[in-house]
Amino acid sequence: MLWAWTLFFGAVGCSDKGDDSAAEGDTDTDSDTDSDTDSDTDSDTDTDTDTDTDTDTDTDTDTDTDTDADAFSAEVQYTWTVDGVDICDTLVEVTGTEITGSCPGCDWAFDVTGVAASEGGNISCWRYPPLALGMVNPTGSFISPLIFGHRVAGSGADILTVGLTAQYYDDGAYYTEGPEFFNLAGTRDSYGTFARVGDDVAWTWDLAKSDLFRYSQDYIESQVCTWSTFYSTATEPYDATESDTSTLPCADPDYVDVWSFQGQAGSTAFVTVDALDDKQPMDPEAWIYGPNYCVEVYGNDNFDCSAGGAECPSMSLVTEDAEYWVVVHNDDFGPSGGPGDTGDWGDDTGGRDTGREDSGIVVEPGGCKGKTVSYQIGVDATWTTGLALRSDDISQYGAGSIHVEGTAHLPKGTP
């Protein structure tokens, strides 16, 4: 169902006030006939003064309401579902002002900022700013405001467009690139459609995929909370006040484990993932989602694993009184391939050169398939975090869809 905004304008109608005046005239005539003139005059004066004052006050109130309603405003319902589970179910409230930069080819455009009015999904939700209009983390991958505008392409296509500015961090400083423009809805090059009636615009955007991600190491750099603390700089494993073990498929890059723990406001949690299997290749990486619906920290190659000859992740973060998720992924898939760099086949022996001295790993081509690798996860904290395995061997991808419904009210006079 399309989200709709009904906006009401105007003040008390003049025709209503005219009818009231006519009624008073009739009463005055009858009263003049039956009673003295002085009483009539007093009654008329009091009645007219009270009525006019009350009506004027109401008119002033209506004028203020009209001014507020004439600003740019929008509302977006953003839903991201994988295998029947809502990853995102976000209601976004959007405010906007006249654009201060440029929107090439646009006949109107606004600088817009969105805030979540409600969220029914989970903390791994990627609130993609062009779709969840204006939702950004100020120290993360994109910055506010976004540009929301309309243009007609040279081909004649009618397009709602969103301008997005990316943000990066290097050598202790932030820098930006953009804006780049995203065709949100239109007649071409878009999954969305829109319509404008008067000063109101409504749009929808839909995408269905057989391999839509719920967690993915390929996209976590687009979900950064704060660039300056995103990459773990730890150089050793941490002690653990709570720990547990699990396994992951050795040869399938799609699968991850997801662990949960409870934070404590203003306190630091230290997380370590360590490989335990010396006979199967494992090169783990891990990242943590927090209550701000973004990736707090990413760990990889922070210390030498206890087994297997690879390097393992450790990381720390200052927490809030909220739930956190640790995603553990095996970035090493032996001879079956995968995103991890596990060395090249040796030219002389036809065997596998893992690049790990004295690792003890002996794997025949394809031999990793159908097997698992084991690891330990630990959390060091001054409080009980309740570390627990939330999802075991879950694919990062599944059959899913993204559905967006939005409405915007444009200020009067917008072309």
pLDDT for the residue 217: 84
If asked whether residues 301 and 391 sit together in one domain, one would say yes
Is 144 inside a domain boundary?
yes
How many domains, in total, are found in the chain? 2
If asked whether residues 231 and 324 sit together in one domain, one would say yes
Q: Are 163 and 103 in contact (CB under 8 A)?
A: yes
If asked whether residues 232 and 200 sit together in one domain, one would say no
Q: Are 309 and 283 in contact (CB under 8 A)?
A: no
Say if residue 108's pLDDT is above 60: yes
Say if residue 76's pLDDT is above 60: yes
If asked whether residues 136 and 93 sit together in one domain, one would say yes
Q: What is the 3-state secondary structure (H, E, C) of 218-275?
A: CCHHHCECCHHHCECCCCCCCCCCEEEEEEEECCCCCEEEEEEEECCCCCEEEEEEEE
Is 188 inside a domain boundary?
yes
If asked whether residues 140 and 201 sit together in one domain, one would say yes
Length of the chain measured in residues: 415
Dihedral sign for Cα atoms in the order 363, 367, 368, 371: negative
Is 43 inside a domain boundary?
no
- Which of the four pLDDT bands, split at 50, 70 and 90, describes residue 252? confident
If asked whether residues 348 and 368 sit together in one domain, one would say yes
If asked whether residues 341 and 210 sit together in one domain, one would say no
- Which of the four pLDDT bands, split at 50, 70 and 90, describes residue 138? confident
Distances (CA, A) of 129 to 116, 265, 293, 394, 402: 12, 28, 13, 26, 13
Say if residue 68's pLDDT is above 70: no
Across 27-55, average pLDDT: 40
Is 389 inside a domain boundary?
yes
pLDDT for the residue 339: 32
- Structure tokens of 311? 């390097």
- Which of the four pLDDT bands, split at 50, 70 and 90, describes residue 264? very high
Say if residue 14's pLDDT is above 80: no
Of the chain, the percentage scoring pLDDT greater than 90 comes to: 62
If asked whether residues 209 and 130 sit together in one domain, one would say yes
pTM of the model: 0.75
Residues 6+ apart with CB under 8 A from 246: 257, 328, 374, 375, 377, 389, 392
Distances (CA, A) of 173 to 146, 179, 201, 297: 22, 19, 39, 18
Range of the domain at 239: 220-395
* Cβ burial, residue 156 (10 Å; 0-12/13-18/19+): exposed
pLDDT for the residue 66: 43
pLDDT for the residue 362: 40
205 φ, ψ (degrees, to nearest 5) = -145, 130
Residue 227: give its domain's CATH number. 2.60.120.380
pLDDT for the residue 69: 61
If asked whether residues 170 and 113 sit together in one domain, one would say yes
pLDDT for the residue 190: 66
pLDDT digits 0-9 by tens, 155-212: 888 999 999 999 999 888 999 999 999 999 997 656 799 999 999 999 999 999 999 9
pLDDT for the residue 259: 98
Say if residue 324's pLDDT is above 50: yes
> Cα torsion at 354, 360, 365, 366 (round to 10°)?
-110
pLDDT digits 0-9 by tens, 370-388: 589 999 999 999 999 999 9
Is 67 inside a domain boundary?
no
Is 168 inside a domain boundary?
yes
If asked whether residues 234 and 345 sit together in one domain, one would say yes
Residues 6+ apart with CB under 8 A from 228: 139, 169, 172
pLDDT for the residue 67: 42
pLDDT for the residue 260: 98
pLDDT for the residue 250: 83
Q: What angle do CA 228, 299, 314 make, to 5 degrees?
A: 110
If asked whether residues 208 and 278 sit together in one domain, one would say no
Is 415 inside a domain boundary?
no
> Which of residues 362 and 246 earns the better pLDDT score?
246
pLDDT for the residue 357: 35
If asked whether residues 195 and 228 sit together in one domain, one would say no
Lowest-pLDDT range of 83-87, 136-140, 178-182? 136-140
Lowest-pLDDT range of 78-87, 236-245, 350-359? 350-359
Say if residue 47's pLDDT is above 80: no
Is the preceding peptide bond at 415 cis, omega within 30 degrees of 0? no
Of the chain, the percentage scoring pLDDT greater than 70 comes to: 73
pLDDT for the residue 277: 86
- Which of the four pLDDT bands, split at 50, 70 and 90, describes residue 306? very high
Across 208-228, average pLDDT: 92
Is 46 inside a domain boundary?
no
Average pLDDT value for the chain: 79
Unique residue bearing structure tokens 């979540």 = 116
Say if residue 15's pLDDT is above 60: no
